Structure 1
Amino acid sequence: MTEDPRSDASRSERLIRMGQPPRNRAELRRKVLWIGVWLVFLSSPVKDLVSGHHTTGGTVAGWLGLAAFVGVYLSLVFRNMGKPFTGRLVVGLILVLGALATLLCLTLGGAWLGLYCYVSVACGSTLPLRLAYGAIPATTGVMLLVGSRVDREEAQNLALLVLLIGFAMTGVGQLVRTTIELRKARATVAQLAANEERLRLARDLHDLLGHSLSLITLKSELAGRMLPDHPEKAAQQVADIEQVSRQALVDVREAVTGYRRPRLAGELAGAQVALTAAGVTADLPAEPDLTGVSEESESVLAWALREAVTNVVRHSGARRCAVEVARRQTLDGPVLELSVEDDGSGGSAGTHGNGLTGLTERLEKAGGSLEAGRVRHGFRLVARVPTEAPLATGSHPVGSGA
C-alpha cells in the first residue's frame, strides 16, 4: 500500500508523542501549553500576592516560594524529556513539594491550599501505583489538617478534587507507561519479522542455489580433467554446466518474482492502516478465500486494491471507504470480484489516470476486467479476475463491506 510520505510526516509532526521527549520546538510548545493549562490553580496564590495583604517581605518570600514550587513541579512533569529521575529523587521532590505547599499555606493563608492539587498530580503521575494509592489520600489528609488551621471550608471544598485529580493522573501515568511498552514491543516484533524474513530468504537461496552450484563445481572439475584426452566428453560436461546454470537463473528469477508479488491479504491489512491514518472510516472484509485463484490473478487484485486505496487517501477527500471481495458467476464464467467504493469526490467522469490505465492493462493480461467511475454518492472501482474452479451456486460472498 503506497501512501504519501509528506502527509504522513505532517501528520506525525502534529501528534504529541506520549511518554517521549519533544522532537522539535513546535512539539515542545504544545507540551508546555498542555501542561501550562493545569497551572490555573495558581490563580488564587498569585491573586493573593498582588492584592497587597502581606508585608513586602512576606510578598517577596511568597513569590520565591511559589517560583520554587512551580520549578520542582515542572521538573517532575518533564522528567521524561531527558534522563528519567531515580525513584528516590522522585520521592524526595514530592516531599519538597508537600513541604513547600504546607509552609506557604500556614504562612500566607487558605488561598494557597490549591497547591495540594499539584502535589496530588505529582504523586499520581510519577509514583508507582502502590505508592500513589497511599500518597494521594495522605496528601488530601495533610491538606485537610492544614486547612483546619487556615481555611476549613476551602479545604473541604478542595478535598474531593485533590483525591480525584490524583487518581486520574495514575490512569494517565499508566497509559503513558503502556504506550511506551507497546512502542518497544512493536519495534521488537518488527525486528523479529525482519530477522525471520532474512532467514527465509537465506533458506530459499540455499535450496535454490546450493545443489545447482555444487553440480556446476563438480562438472567443471570433470571437464577440466577430461579436456586433454577426451574433449568430446568435456564438451558434454560444459553443455551440462550451461543447462544447470540457466535453470538456476530461472529459479532465482521466479523466487525474486514471488518476493515482489503482492498478496491480497497483506494489501487488505495495509489498506486498513492507510485509511485509518488518513481519517477515513474503513469497512473491510476478513481474509478472503482464494481457492481456485492463481497467484498471478491474486497479485493483480492486490495491485488493484493498492491503487484504489491510494486514490482514496490522496485525492478523494472521502470520509468512508468500503471494500468487498466476493465470488460471482458471470456469463464468462466464475470470477473473484474486488469492489472499492468511497463517498468522496472521485475523479473526472470518463477519464482515467495513468494508474487506472496501467491497472486495466494488468487485469486484461490476467484475463480480468476493470470498471471505475462515479456513483451516486462517490466513486467505485470494481476489478474482476477469473477463477479456475467453477461455482455450484450463483454467488458466494467471501467478505462483506456491510
Structure 2
Amino acid sequence: MSEMFRRAAILGLLSAVGPFAIDMYLPAMPTIATDLKTSIAGTQATLTAFFLAFGLAQMVYGPWADAAGRKLPLLCGLALYVVASIGAAVAPDIQTLIVARLVQGLGAAAVMVIPRAIIRDWSTGTEATRLMAMVMLVISVSPMLAPLAGSFVILLADWRAIFWVMVVAGLASLLVTVTALPETLPPAMRRPVSASRLLRETAGLFAHRGFMVLTFVGAFGMASFFVFIASASFVYTSQFGLSPTGFSIAFAINAAGFFAGSQLAGSAGGRWGMGPVVRGATAGFALAACTLLALDLSGLAGLVVIIVLLAAGNFCLGFVIPAVMVMALDDQGERAGLASSLGGTLQMMTGGLLVAAVGPLFDGTATPMIATIAFCAVVATALARLVPVQAARAAT
C-alpha cells in the first residue's frame, strides 16, 4: 500500500465517524418518533443539535490542535463521542436524546477539523486535493453504507442498538489514533493559544475574501445535503411508502453520486484548474436542483425522478466539496488549524440553521426539501462566480 493510500485510509476511517453518527440512525427516525412519543420536528431536533454542536466545537479543536499537536485533541474528542453515544443508547426520552446527540456532536467535531489540518501538514495544492478526495472516498461510502447498516441493526434489535454500534466504532477509532496515526505537527511548529492572537487571526480570516467565498460555497453545498438528511427518511417512508431498507437503498443511490464526483475532483482540478471546476460543478448542481423543483411543482416528480436528479446534483457536489476545502486552506499556512475550524464551524452552522428553519415547514411531502436544496444550489452557484478562474489559490 502506498503512503498516500495508507494516510487516506487512516484519515478517512477517522473522518467517517461523524457521517456514521449522522446517517446510521436515519432509517430509525420514524421509529424513534413513535417510541419516544415525539413529533417529526422533535426527532429532527436530534440532528439539528448534532449539527450545531459539531460546528461550534470546531472552533475549539482547531486552535487546540495548533497548540498541542493533532493527536491529543483527537483522542479527547473521540473519548467524548464514545461517552455521548452510550448516553444516546440509553436515553429514556427525546430531551435526553437531544442532549446526548449534542454532546456526541461536540466529540465528533474533532474528527472533522483535525484530519483536514493533518492533510495541510502533509501537502498543499493539487496533491492535497487528491489526498482529500481519497479521504472523501471513505467518507462518501458512509452515507451509502451507514443507513443500510442501521436498517439491518433495527431488523435484529431496536434503534438503541444503532448507538451501541457507534460506541464500538468510536473505540475502534481511538485504537487507530493511538497505534497508527503519527503526530504531524512537530513541537517547533506549535503555537500557544492566545486570546488576542485568535481574535486577530479570526478577524483576518473573516476579512479574507477568498477564504470566505470558498467556505460558503462549501457551506451551502453541504447544507443542501443536511436538509436532505433531515427530511429524506420521512419523505421516502411517508410519501412513497418505502421500508427502512428501501429508504436506505434510495439514500445510498443519492450518496453514490457524491462518491463518484469526489473521486474525479483531483484529476479534474489538475487538468482544468480547481477554480473552473468549482464554477462548472456548482452550475451543474443548480441545474439539477432547479429542474427537480420545477418538475415537483408541476406534479411530475415521482420517486425515480427525485432519486435520479438528487444523485445528479450530488455528483456535481462531489467535485465541489473537496476542492473548496483545499483551496480555502492553501493560503493559511500556520493558521491552517484555525482556518479549518472556522470554515467547518461556518459550514455546519449554515446547515444546522437551515435544517431548523425548514423543519416547521415540513408537510410530509418532498416539496419543502426540494425547494431548500434548490435555494442552496443557486446561492452556491452565485458565490462560485467569485472563485478565481485560473488559480487554485484564492486571493485576499
What is the TM-score when the length of structure 1 is the normalising length?
0.22
Report the structure, 1 or 2, having the larger helix content. Answer: 2
Whichever of the two has the greater Rg, that structure is: 1
Report the structure, 1 or 2, having the larger strand content. Answer: 1
What is the TM-score when the length of structure 2 is the normalising length?
0.22
